[in-house]
Chain A
Amino acid sequence: MEHHHILRTITKLLIPIILLFALYVQFHGDFGPGGGFQAGVIFGSGIILYGIVFGLDKAMAVIPPSVLRVLAALGVLLYGGVGLTGIFLGGQFLDYSVLAAEPTKGQHLGILLIELGVGTTVAAIMILLFFAFAGFNREERG
């Protein structure tokens, strides 16, 4: 998309906004519509937009696939880890009430953490999916 100068400029401008918006959705999910999954998708879309406009290589330079793999696994582990912490603190699996002194505080903390886990995994996997699809067959064509 070399000749699309306006597009490239606008995209550069937009991507930070998109990523910020993703963070807003991530942490505002308790009060409005949104949450980890949606935030992850939006964050992923931001990077995908970058990849579409500026090319796969540049996007991969920003976030290498190996890092994404780690992030994807970390998200699930964070979620499961919160659950196991519940067990170690004397509750049931995924019981957030025991995470803090007050049950509601614990619930808040738990939900925040697991949503973070969801968001991380989803964003990482979405970008990985795009990389995998867009990068398939690439070497062959040169």
Chain B
Amino acid sequence: MLFSAFSLLSAGLFVALDAVDVAFTEAAVGAGISTILALATLALTGARQEAGTHHKVAPLIVVIITGSVLIYASIDIPPVGDSQAPSHLHVAPRYLNQSMKEVGIPNVVTSVLASYRGYDTLGEVTVILTAGIGVLALLGGRRRKKERTKSGDKEE
């Protein structure tokens, strides 16, 4: 529930950071599909409000170490919004300046996504297909499962 609000909030942040396409997707996926699937799972598992997170020390230490390493790393990252950051000077300008001429599409995100790095997108579609196949294999065919439990019992 609050997770959906979190998605909306993060999508708002993406808009503020000028990543409209990302915001678009995050809104549709995070607040829409993920929420619906999470709810369906909760409905099937019947675990609505269970005992909260147990406080454990070991994970906390790991988290603190990871966080500190990231903050350490962030010191040398160019600050947000710096137009002279190396990441804006190497590959990206070509996309922004040549996209109109080479691909002919004003939305640079689409032109990079579909053309310059189109192969990544093919991978992305494949990932979705993988998830689809996986969920079908796991949740399709109800009858089969019972047989399996039986044979599983015998094995042990």
A positions within 8 Å CB-CB of B: 29-35, 37-38, 41-42, 44-45, 48, 52, 69, 72-73, 75-76, 79-80, 83, 93-94, 96, 103-104, 107-108, 110-111, 114-115, 117-118, 121-122, 124-126, 128-130, 132-140
Contacts and interface: CB of A to CB of B under 8 A. Distances in A.
B44 A41 contact: no
Interface stretch (B1-9, B32-40, B52-60, B70-78): B32-40
B131 A129 contact: yes
B80 interface: no
Given A104-B103, A107-B104, A38 B129 contact: no
16 contacts: A30-B105, A33-B107, A34-B21, A35-B114, A42-B28, A72-B129, A93-B119, A104-B104, A108-B104, A111-B103, A122-B128, A128-B132, A129-B33, A130-B40, A136-B44, A136-B139
Contact of B40 (A32, A115, A133): A133
Contacts of A79: 121-122, 125
Given A69-B136, A79-B125, 13 more contacts: A30-B105, A31-B105, A38-B21, A44-B33, A72-B129, A72-B132, A76-B122, A79-B122, A114-B121, A124-B132, A129-B135, A132-B140, A137-B44
Contacts of A138: 142
B95 to A, nearest CB: 13
Nearest to A132: B139
A30 B36 CA distance: 29
A48 B25 CA distance: 17
B36 A114 contact: no
Nearest to B40: A133
Contact of A111 (B44, B115, B125, B128): B115
Interface string B12-44: 000000001101110011001100110011001
Interface residues of B, number: 44
B118 A45 contact: no
A30 B126 CA distance: 22
B110 interface: yes
A80 B122 contact: yes
Given A35-B110, A111-B115, A140 B33 contact: no
Contacts of B126: 76
10 closest cross-chain pairs (CB), A and B:
A125-B132, A133-B40, A104-B104, A41-B28, A33-B20, A132-B139, A111-B114, A30-B105, A107-B103, A136-B139
B93 interface: no
Given A45-B33, A107-B104, A108-B105, A38 B128 contact: no
Given A41-B25, A114-B121, A133 B44 contact: yes
